[in-house]
Amino acid sequence: MSFNWSDLLVLATELGNRGTNEADLRSSINRAYFASHCIARKYLRDDENDINLNYKVYFKELRVGYHTYVINTFLESNDSNKQDIGRDLERLFDNRKKADYKDLIHPNISFIQNMAQISINMANNINDNINDLKSI
């Protein structure tokens, strides 16, 4: 049985709800992004039959990463719901990079708490929107 990527979203929510230290909040943002990225990637690969996601050579030739490819595939869709998913993924990816790589996101912990909550909300929206796409 394959891993249920939405379990990462549950973990992100738990970490974000603790909200007492920056490490929990940064980890919450990271897990929210990876839950969404993997759910979106799995949707494209398994439900949309995007064969490009099965070939590493494809990404080496294009010089584009999986993350950018998944985001752009949604953004470039003619379907406005998929475009919304792409925009949320893109914003969430930016938040994840800040959480993972910036030494100082903001001196006020409440700013980071808000960023974590926004990230969790976007991840939930992505998950819900992909589930809606599957039910069409």
pLDDT digits 0-9 by tens, 73-115:
999 999 999 999 999 999 999 999 999 999 999 999 999 999 9
Boundaries of domain holding 116: 6-134
Local confidence band at 1 (pLDDT 50, 70, 90 cut-offs): confident
When divided into structural domains, the chain yields a total of 1
pTM for the model = 0.92
Q: Tell me, yes or no, whether 38 lies in a domain.
A: yes
Which is it for the CA torsion 66, 126, 5, 48, positive or negative?
negative
Span 7-29, mean pLDDT? 94
What lies within 8 Å, CB to CB, of 117 at 6+ separation is 16
Q: Residue 1: inside a domain, yes or no?
A: no
- What's the whole-number mean pLDDT along residues 53-65? 65
Rounded to the nearest angstrom, the gap between the alpha carbon of residue 16 and the centroid of all alpha carbons in its chain is 15
- Say which CATH number the domain at 97 has: 1.20.120.330
